[in-house]
Homo-oligomer: A and B are copies of this chain.
């Protein structure tokens, strides 16, 4: 076999607003297996599907912010994403054929990984491969770095997590509980709420869609105020959280999914609260905590192996299911980390 046929997902044009099936197409290409030095061809097994990709799909005029700081996705081209795969052909001395790897792959069946692009040998450490895409990947690092470095928790503090059953939120809540905080999460279905309370050990949880007034809902769930808000959604929930924060409260802004599609209004914060309560609101990216990566992996591997931490994976199958999986993120279809299994292990 000298070449492989590769089916991959691409966008037909820039996507502004909520994504639809018609924004995507499955393309086919041929990849030669005679790799150049330092190049690797990977057969993708599990790939990550994350909301932030939408920001990379926007046209420049639509979101200056996202496009200036994230690499734009080019219509017609393969879309990079974090994932786990197996080496098919290698021009790197450290990676042999058939070895498991983790790094920046694509929403496709195969990835031609050029020199310099993130790709490391994967030791699965007796843990299922999807965990290496989610809880032990960038979602996990976002949760770990964001919670410990940005939120600067103290034992006994009250933590609120939005999108709490999502890829990052579900881990933040568990890190916070294990650390000794009181944790309440919100999600968008009763099933998710039950899961948070029954499986993930949250002290409480609620369905934000059942609440007519988020500010009073939070007042009810946090009668003594919120010390830490781990924000995955932005918009009205962020406003409501700020209104309910305690003195010297901290908001870690991990994402703002409610604002990505441009349908929801932006958070209009009460700056008087920010001043009088000395609130800190801080944005971050997982990549900022790469120097804590070894800590993160060793801590999280132990927690997962001993079942002290649950990693929720929501897995679809086949490259054709990627657009639907992605679109579903913005409807809240996923429970935990959304992953597409591209091929059998």
Contact = CB atoms under 8 A, between A and B. Distances in A.
A65 B253 contact: no
A64 interface: yes
A272 B238 contact: no
Interface of A: 55, 63-66, 68-70, 234, 238, 243, 247, 253-256, 259-260, 265-285, 288
Nearest to A284: B278
B243 A271 contact: no
A247 B285 CA distance: 11
Contacts of A259: 271-272
A275 B255 contact: yes
A12 B70 CA distance: 55
Given A64-B243, A65-B270, A269-B267, A284 B288 contact: no
Contacts of A256: 271-272, 274-275
B243 A276 contact: no
30 contacts: A55-B276, A63-B272, A64-B243, A65-B273, A65-B277, A66-B272, A68-B276, A69-B277, A70-B276, A254-B275, A256-B271, A256-B274, A256-B275, A259-B272, A265-B268, A266-B268, A266-B269, A266-B271, A267-B271, A269-B269, A273-B283, A274-B282, A274-B283, A275-B283, A276-B283, A276-B285, A278-B283, A280-B281, A280-B283, A281-B282
Given A278-B288, A288-B278, A65 B283 contact: no
A242 B280 CA distance: 15
A332 to B, nearest CB: 18
A262 to B, nearest CB: 11
Contacts of A255: 275
A227 to B, nearest CB: 15
B238 A271 contact: yes
Nearest to A235: B271
Contacts of A275: 253-256, 283-285
A254 B279 CA distance: 11
Nearest to A287: B278
Nearest to A260: B272
Given A265-B268, A268-B265, A270-B65, A281 B281 contact: yes
B285 A271 contact: no
A126 B260 CA distance: 58
A254 B283 CA distance: 20
A242 to B, nearest CB: 9
Nearest to A257: B271
A289 to B, nearest CB: 11
A166 to B, nearest CB: 15
A95 to B, nearest CB: 31
B288 A283 contact: no
A171 to B, nearest CB: 18
A271 to B, nearest CB: 4
Contact of A277 (B63, B265, B283): B283
User: Which 10 interchain pairs have the tightest Cβ spacing?
Assistant: A69-B276, A256-B271, A274-B283, A65-B272, A275-B283, A266-B268, A65-B273, A234-B271, A281-B281, A268-B268
